[in-house]
Amino acid sequence: MTYAVGLLLDAGIVFASDTRTNAGVDHVSTFKKMTVFEVPGERMIVLMGSGNLAITQSVVSQLHAWNAAQPKTRGGRAVRANRAILRAETMFEAARIVGAALREVHALDGEHLTAHGADFNAMFILGGQIGGEAPRLFQVYAAGNFIEAGVDTPYFQIGETKYGKPIIDRIVRPETSLSVAAKCTLISFDSTMRSNVSVAMPLDVMLYERDSLKAGFYRRIPRNDPYMQALSEGWSKGIRSAFEALPDPDWPVESGDSRRPRKRRKG
Amino acid sequence: MTYAVGLLLDAGIVFASDTRTNAGVDHVSTFKKMTVFEVPGERMIVLMGSGNLAITQSVVSQLHAWNAAQPKTRGGRAVRANRAILRAETMFEAARIVGAALREVHALDGEHLTAHGADFNAMFILGGQIGGEAPRLFQVYAAGNFIEAGVDTPYFQIGETKYGKPIIDRIVRPETSLSVAAKCTLISFDSTMRSNVSVAMPLDVMLYERDSLKAGFYRRIPRNDPYMQALSEGWSKGIRSAFEALPDPDWPVESGDSRRPRKRRKG
């Protein structure tokens, strides 16, 4: 599986993705799922993919190919709509281009996947900032359509989303700082990795600072990262303390932990 | 959807289920999903179902019908295997009977559901104690087969399981008391209901005390239950405090909440 998160904040965007891929439980690998499209001073765009790795990698390769191709013109006018993320004028156009790449891959591979009983399973988070626009964040579906984050729900998750969602819902607001949002993101990953072995370290994290128009602080967080370990242990202890501080129910059953369990009777 | 949990403890068993059912988002109802089969002093068995309500209700009706039917005998010997939970000699036999009821319903309804494009979607938690056996807990699948809880994983969840799983994993051990496990269960429901509107109050909770062989403390927890509200609010505050107590990353980005967000530039 995969877990990836994008958080759209007033201060910028937090991007994070894990690196585990698996085809069955006996074929587990590490792949980077975060791709950066950057022209410093002009645009900074991050794409994170989940789902079938063959599809998501093909989409990224297609996007690179479109970036590399010279725009076809006839008499000075473009022959077809721009398909280069590096030349997109808005993030909306960039999201359309990611959708177009998905549709290109679907046209090539879709029926063959169906013939082998496999779904066309892919999802992307696309975020960043171009020129004078504000930073924007999109979630692109396998069909190539997409939705955009707003102030009510300033984040998107893809892959194994459930275990890591509650902490984001409780903590992250548009005014949350990049640092605090990054801390929340790492705890969200910790909860996810604790419950789903198909999401795993190392993690890729990038903090994009609004209006910087360049790749922000990037870090690959390895398996034994001291800060991640401190967070994980501190969070376990904090959760347990918070739980113990809550009142037990005043229901008519014995209370307190029965540390000396009764022997099990044999049936 | 549904959320139901059974926790097998040295001290007994905690059962809890929500009451929301929905067929689409425009047909939301309240149904009890917890059924008790009890012969005080001899057996106490609880069944909780998730999935297609028509299936789970049919299973429960079938079980009642089998309980009501007189066992067929010929020359003093039973003609067929016992199908009455109230006469099962072990919890294993009771689990087989629930499986048999599922297969009976599948034989009647299965192909018709398929014809209408619906899955045969049902899952049960069955727990309790019979005679001299220790308390036992089972999860019964739609196919009628089942698994039993043990010391390594002393609980089962059905329905919307993910949001409420981490807190149970962190807190519940076989030696946890019924009260503490009940508190943990309510928090597990709080997390689930916060993230999935298809799980909702009121809740049914029963605490079965080991070797009591009778229905234990039962409570229907209504929407505005003061204890549940205190738990929910206390847990929110506790989580937030635990989060804030953790160190921020020492990464080279601005830290602390930027309370005065910059204005968004128009694109």
pLDDT single digits (tens) A90-113:
999 999 999 999 999 999 999 999
State the pLDDT at residue A254.
58
CB A235 within 8 A of CB B242: yes
B-facing residues of A in 162-191 (CB < 8 A) are 162-163, 165-167, 169-171, 174-180, 182-184, 186-187, 191
Q: pLDDT band for position A224 (50/70/90)?
A: very high
Q: Is B263 on the interface with A (CB under 8 A)?
A: no
Cβ neighbours of A76 (radius 10 Å): 5
Range in A8-12, A38-42, A80-84, B51-55 with the lowest mean pLDDT = A80-84
Q: How far is residue A97's CA from residue A63's CA, in Å, rounded to a whole number?
A: 8
Q: Is A234 on the interface with B (CB under 8 A)?
A: yes
Q: How far is CA B66 from CA B71, B89, B105, in A?
A: 9, 15, 13
State the pLDDT at residue B236.
95
Output phi, psi for B194, to 5 deg: -65, -30
- Chain B environment of A192 (Cβ under 8 Å): none
Q: What is the pTM of this model?
A: 0.88
Q: What ipTM was predicted for this assembly?
A: 0.87
Q: pLDDT band for position A262 (50/70/90)?
A: very low
Element (H, E) at B13: strand B12-17
Res. A199: pLDDT tops 80 = yes
State the pLDDT at residue B3.
96
Q: What does the pLDDT average to over A244-267? A: 63
| CB pairs A-B closer than 8 Å | 215
Q: Is B154 on the interface with A (CB under 8 A)?
A: no
**CATH class of the structural domain B3-245:** alpha beta
Cβ within 8 Å, pair A245-B261: no
Q: How far is residue A11's CA from residue A55's CA, in Å, rounded to a whole number?
A: 32
State the pLDDT at residue B266.
44
Higher-confidence residue of A262 and A72: namely A72
Q: Is B89 on the interface with A (CB under 8 A)?
A: no
Q: What does the pLDDT average to over A242-247? A: 97
State the pLDDT at residue A74.
82
CA distance A17 to chain B (A): 17
Q: Which residues of chain B fall below pLDDT 50?
A: 255-267
Q: pLDDT band for position A19 (50/70/90)?
A: very high
State the pLDDT at residue A136.
98
State the pLDDT at residue B261.
41
CB B37 within 8 A of CB B86: yes
Element (H, E) at A165: helix A165-171
Range in A49-63, A173-187, B240-254 with the lowest mean pLDDT = B240-254
Res. A82: pLDDT tops 90 = no
DSSP letter, residue B85: G
State the pLDDT at residue A26.
78
Tell me the average pLDDT of chain A.
91
